[in-house]
């Protein structure tokens, strides 16, 4: 995907950080912004269309993950959904010094929610991962304590793309009578996510990761699961999340998700081809590299590690060539320490510092991938000379 940027064109391959807004979703959002201003909670007829849009959006989103509409609450995005899921469960049990089980490769939205709860007196168990980034179900089984209040393990990793064995992990959690939350921010809209099949109790998602607008997302809460509200105030969102809903953004999120789910297979094939193209290009050019995250990865994710160059430097050099990739997760891109995810994967020390993440999205083409492979080759050869 090339985007006009003043006089030059940029190849955007950082879709794990955020995705471009789908054109139909943008048009819908603008149209609704122009047409409606009423508060969706009001009782007069001016609010009726907004209530209807909210209901239809909830139905569409629920259908995309095989949930029921009353199991979806709209939030401001992945971070809020993760905070809500973890904190609302833990705070209810605070006097019992509850335990949270999570993994070593979670996004900061989960890790820092756990850290905040630790400061209030609960304990946090961080499960290790194997070299591919996957949690061993036996490790989960071994670590469940009587006082474990919630288990939060991500569906797919944002830095290396590893997909976790969620269904197996959920079965273990449920056998022990524990609540299971998954941060599915990188998975929803990209790979099949079925809450009934996987059995998760709660699931976080964010619109801007699936070509929807920023600042909006949702939290799935299984019907019957008793969870406290996280934001207190009015009675919106079944009294679970107070605050006047951003109806145009919610409608755009629902449309973007519906479109991505409809086209999921075609998009996945296209972006896997992009990933293979970069890998082939580097291999054919004799470049030495490691692919992180194992074989069971998100289709558009490619975390590569090289020797003899820093990932940060590589990212900036690619930027000078009008190619956007990242060194890790976007939220950590200003951090200079090695990523906690790469450390958890035990990426060899000669390679770990030279890691970049390329993430393709539905707007990318194999031409983009070929250019990225060639520019990377030129840069790495220049450094080696």
Q: Binding of ligand PLP at residue 201 (CB under 6 A)? A: no
Q: Which of 14, 22, 71, 183 binds ligand PLP (CB under 6 A)?
A: 183
Phi then psi for residue 186, to 5 deg, are -90, -10
β pairing state of 290-292 and 217-221: unpaired
SS (H, E, C) 325-379: CECCCHHHCCCCCCCHHHHHCCCCHHHHCCEEEEECCCCCCHHHHHHHHHHHHHH
Residue 288 is given by DSSP the state -
Q: Which residue among the candidates 114, 122, 324, 331 is catalytic per the annotation? A: 331
Q: Which of 7-15, 117-125, 274-282, 328-336 is the region at the interface with ligand PLP (rule: CB under 6 A)?
A: 328-336
Stretch that binds ligand PLP, among 38-46, 78-86, 222-230, 281-289 (CB under 6 A): 78-86
Cα 61 from chain centroid (whole Å): 16
Q: List helix spans (H) across 231-359.
A: 236-239, 247-262, 264-284, 311-320, 340-344, 349-352
Site for ligand PLP in 330-359 (CB under 6 A): 330-331
What are the distances in angstroms from CA 86 to CA 23, 90, 93, 336, 381? 34, 6, 11, 28, 46
Out of 148, 186, 326, 327, point to the residue binding ligand PLP (CB under 6 A).
186
200 binding ligand PLP? (CB under 6 A):
no
* Contact status: 107 vs ligand PLP (CB under 6 A): yes
Q: Which is nearer to ligand PLP, 245 or 281 (CB)?
A: 245
- 331 carries an active-site annotation: yes
Binding test (CB under 6 A) with ligand PLP, winner from 109, 129, 144, 271: 109
Question: What is the DSSP code (8-state) at residue 203?
Answer: E
Residue from the set 40, 161, 212, 217 that interacts with ligand PLP by CB under 6 A: 217
Catalytic residue positions, numbered: 331
Binding-site ranges for ligand PLP (CB under 6 A): 77-79, 82, 107, 109, 154, 158, 183, 185-186, 206, 217, 329-331
């Amino acid at each position: 995907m090339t985007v006009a940027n003043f006089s030059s064109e940029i190849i955007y391959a950082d879709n794990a950080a955020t995705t471009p807004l789908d054109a139909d979703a943008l048009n819908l959002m603008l149209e609704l912004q122009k047409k409606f201003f009423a508060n969706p909670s009001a009782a007069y007829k001016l609010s009726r269309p907004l209530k209807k849009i909210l209901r239809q959006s909830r139905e569409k989103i629920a259908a995309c993950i095989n949930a029921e509409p009353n199991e979806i609450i709209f939030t401001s995005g992945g971070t809020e959904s993760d905070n809500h899921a973890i904190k609302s469960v833990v705070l209810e049990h605070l006097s019992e010094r509850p335990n949270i089980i999570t993994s070593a490769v979670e996004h900061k939205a989960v890790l820092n929610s756990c850290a905040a709860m630790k400061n209030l007196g609960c304990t946090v168990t961080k499960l290790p991962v194997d070299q591919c980034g996957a949690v061993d179900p036996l490790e989960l089984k071994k670590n469940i304590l009587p006082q474990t209040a919630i288990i939060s393990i991500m569906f797919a990793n944002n830095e290396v793309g590893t997909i976790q064995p969620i269904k197996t992990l959920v079965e273990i959690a449920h056998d022990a009578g524990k609540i299971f939350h998954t941060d599915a921010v990188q998975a929803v809209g990209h790979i099949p996510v079925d809450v009934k099949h996987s059995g998760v109790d709660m699931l976080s998602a964010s619109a801007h990761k699936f070509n929807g607008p920023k600042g909006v997302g949702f939290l799935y809460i299984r019907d019957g699961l008793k969870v406290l509200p996280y934001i207190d105030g009015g009675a919106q969102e079944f009294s679970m999340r107070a605050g006047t809903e951003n109806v145009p953004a919610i409608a755009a999120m629902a449309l973007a998700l519906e479109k991505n789910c409809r086209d999921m297979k075609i998009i996945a094939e296209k972006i896997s081809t992009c990933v293979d193209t970069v890998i082939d290009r580097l291999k054919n050019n004799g470049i030495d590299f490691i692919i992180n995250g194992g074989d069971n990865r998100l289709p558009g994710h490619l975390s590569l590690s090289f020797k003899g160059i820093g990932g940060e430097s590589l990212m900036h050099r690619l930027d000078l060539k009008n190619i956007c990739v990242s060194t890790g997760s976007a939220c950590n891109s200003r951090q200079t320490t090695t990523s906690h995810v790469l450390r958890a994967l035990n990426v060899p020390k000669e390679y770990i510092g030279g890691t970049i993440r390329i993430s393709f999205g539905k707007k990318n083409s194999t031409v983009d991938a070929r250019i990225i492979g060639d520019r990377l080759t030129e840069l790495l050869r220049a450094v080696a000379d």
